[in-house]
Chains A and B, each alone.
Chain A
Amino acid sequence: MIPVRVYAEDWEIDSRLVPFGVTRAELLEITRAVVAARSDAVADDPASAEGLFAYIYGTRWVRRVFRAKGWIRHRHENIESVRHPDRPLQIVYQSVDLASSNIHTPLAVSGKGSGADRIIDEGQGCLFVDEKSATSPFDPINSGVWFFCVSVNGDDVRAELSLPAGVSGGNFNGFIERIFIIRDGEWAGIHVTESGGLDPTEFEPVVSRKKN
């Protein structure tokens, strides 16, 4: 059993995200979109509307953020993801019961089916072809099927980018790596201070002198 590697400190989170080509601010953008989408649900909607909106917008924004960096929209075994153009690396949006907790590993709120089981097997399976070439438990893994997990429990919003070990009993069966993106208590600070979160876009027009 590979022990889970957790990245929970600012310095290690930021550096761990480098191989993915994203920043925490961009992943926060996805989380914001998910929270905003959930709040679109009104009393007249089906009971599942919040979760459905979260899934749709979470998937859309995962793709939007990563496709802007050259990743490719991917769909396999009914799993909607975005795929790295060169490496066997995928990212899937996932609503979970509780993310970024040291005492709890996230569970998909809607459970995981056989499709997820298979793509995780395929994706993560290639990481451990044989015992000798197995990745060291302390080496970061920059391939496989990762899940951007977001949990929304009232004002407690958390997110993590994690590499599950597999699926068992209809849900995740442990994780190999977990990168905490929004930790316990952080959302309140992001949310209450309205100017936090996404920085404003800044533009600088390019002006140059014409050659005589």
Chain B
Amino acid sequence: MFNVSRLELARKRRRYTAKSLADQAGISPVTLSRVVNGQQIADERTLDALVRALRFPREFFYLDDFDPVDADAASFRSLTAITAREREAALAAGSLAFEMADWVGERYNLPSAELLDLSYERDPAAAARAMRQFWSIGERPIGNMVKLLETKGVRVFSLAENTKNVDAFSCWRNGEPYVFLNTFKTTERSRFDAAHELAHLVLHKHGGPQQGRQAELEAQLFASSFLMPEDDVRASIPIVGGLQHIIRAKARWGVSASALAYRLHKLNILTDWQYRTFVIQINRDFGKTEPEGLPPERSAVWQTVLTDLWKQGVSRNQIANALRLPHDEVENLLFGLTGETKPIPRIAGKNRLRAVE
């Protein structure tokens, strides 16, 4: 039976409004509305048109209800900048990721979640220290944030959203933590996003984005402390000689020059005046690019799983077929984490929507 909830999921994933989907499918918005509301059973021609417009395999729409990402439990960055359509598209990607995670989980033993519930901790820096101690990292820099999260049982997926407004989001599902990273960002930004989402998972496990700006600030402080532990920063950079010093030093913690300057300022290693000067210099000299940027971080879990499946003769396309997902959606969920595929460009705004056969 045609599952209307999956029609809605695909529509949100493709960033269509109901009207734009109706336009693309060549049906009237009223017809679409009636189909969605269960007032009308769609005929085969209408279904064909919708399936074509959405570019999802027909079988996808005949599966059981999907597991939605609890919008209240998902924490988004850039709360003010993100549009409802971007948010819905990201959440829809989360639901598709759940299905992929379940499929992999049925076939592979993956690390179990080893995260603390630090929702009682009011000091984000203390929480970051506690997390480091729990994982026996001490003061050491973290080589690869994606692998660290995966080792500790976090399921990491890519959000190949070509928009600066969706940085990352995270959520808990059936006791398993999920992190979705926008892999279009620089590695340094992506690492910081990963630490930021870790903060939400451990600090705000029992609360959602309703905690708003305060939760975001806490997550920023946690991420900064987690990636750049105070003692190590102080031992490594007691005095800052200039911007070049910061740019050389940032590689140790795998953070952006801006993030390190911010941390040094918070630790009173940089004065207010020095900090302002460096921020102006960084913006002027580098803009949105990252000087001496790091190579992208890869997922160990996905590489292991995909390599093993490949050895068994199972390609990514076959995985997509098994999941009844479009190939581009599987590629997008893995984009940047395995480093072999190109994401499908996202087209924002109804005036720029076009059907791709």
Contacts and interface: CB of A to CB of B under 8 A. Distances in A.
Q: Give the interface residue-count category, chain A.
A: 20 to 34
Contacts of B231: 32-33, 36-37
A205 B150 CA distance: 6
A36 B235 contact: yes
B137 interface: yes
Contacts of A33: 139, 231, 235
Contacts of B254: 200
Given A36-B234, A194-B237, A199-B140, A207 B151 contact: no
A124 B266 CA distance: 48
Interface string A47-80: 0000000000000000010001000000000000
Contact of B143 (A39, A191, A201, A206): A201
B139 A205 contact: no
A1 B134 CA distance: 48
A206 B111 contact: yes
B252 interface: yes
B140 A201 contact: yes
A210 interface: yes
Contact of B109 (A29, A199, A207): A207
A125 B284 CA distance: 67
A68 B138 CA distance: 11
Nearest to A35: B235
Interface string B131-159: 00000111111111001101110000000
A208 B252 contact: no
Contact of A36 (B110, B137, B232, B301): B232
B234 A204 contact: no
Given A205-B300, A205-B301, A29 B150 contact: no
A40 interface: yes
B305 A194 contact: no
A204 B139 CA distance: 19
A202 interface: yes
Given A194-B252, A207-B301, A201 B107 contact: no
18 contacts: A33-B231, A33-B235, A37-B231, A64-B138, A194-B248, A194-B252, A200-B140, A200-B143, A203-B144, A203-B147, A205-B110, A205-B147, A205-B151, A206-B111, A207-B109, A207-B111, A207-B305, A207-B308
A40 B300 contact: no
B141 A200 contact: yes
Interface string A177-212: 000000000000001001101111111111111100
A203 B148 contact: yes
Nearest to B132: A201
B109 to A, nearest CB: 5
A205 B231 CA distance: 27
The majority secondary structure among interface residues of chain A is loop
B109 A32 contact: no
The majority secondary structure among interface residues of chain B is helix
Interface of A: 29, 32-33, 35-37, 39-40, 64, 68, 191, 194-195, 197-210
A192 B137 CA distance: 23
Contacts of A204: 147, 151, 300
B106 to A, nearest CB: 7
Interface string B85-121: 0000000000000000000001111110000000000
Nearest to A33: B231
A27 to B, nearest CB: 14
Given A33-B139, A200-B143, A210-B109, A39 B235 contact: yes
Contact of A40 (B107, B109, B234): B234
B251 A195 contact: yes
B320 interface: no
Interface in B293-350: 300-301, 304-305, 308
Contacts of B140: 198-201
- Max count, chain A CB within 10 A of own CB: residue among B106, B139, B235: B235
B236 interface: yes
Contacts of A36: 231-232, 234-235
B68 interface: no
A200 B228 CA distance: 12
Name the 5 nearest CB pairs between A and B, nearest first: A200-B143, A36-B235, A203-B151, A205-B150, A194-B249
B106 A210 contact: yes
B238 interface: yes
A203 B153 CA distance: 12
- Max count, chain B CB within 10 A of own CB: residue among A36, A194, A197: A194
A209 B143 contact: no
Given A36-B234, A194-B249, A203-B151, A208 B108 contact: yes
Contacts of A200: 140-143, 252, 254
Nearest to B308: A209
Nearest to B106: A210
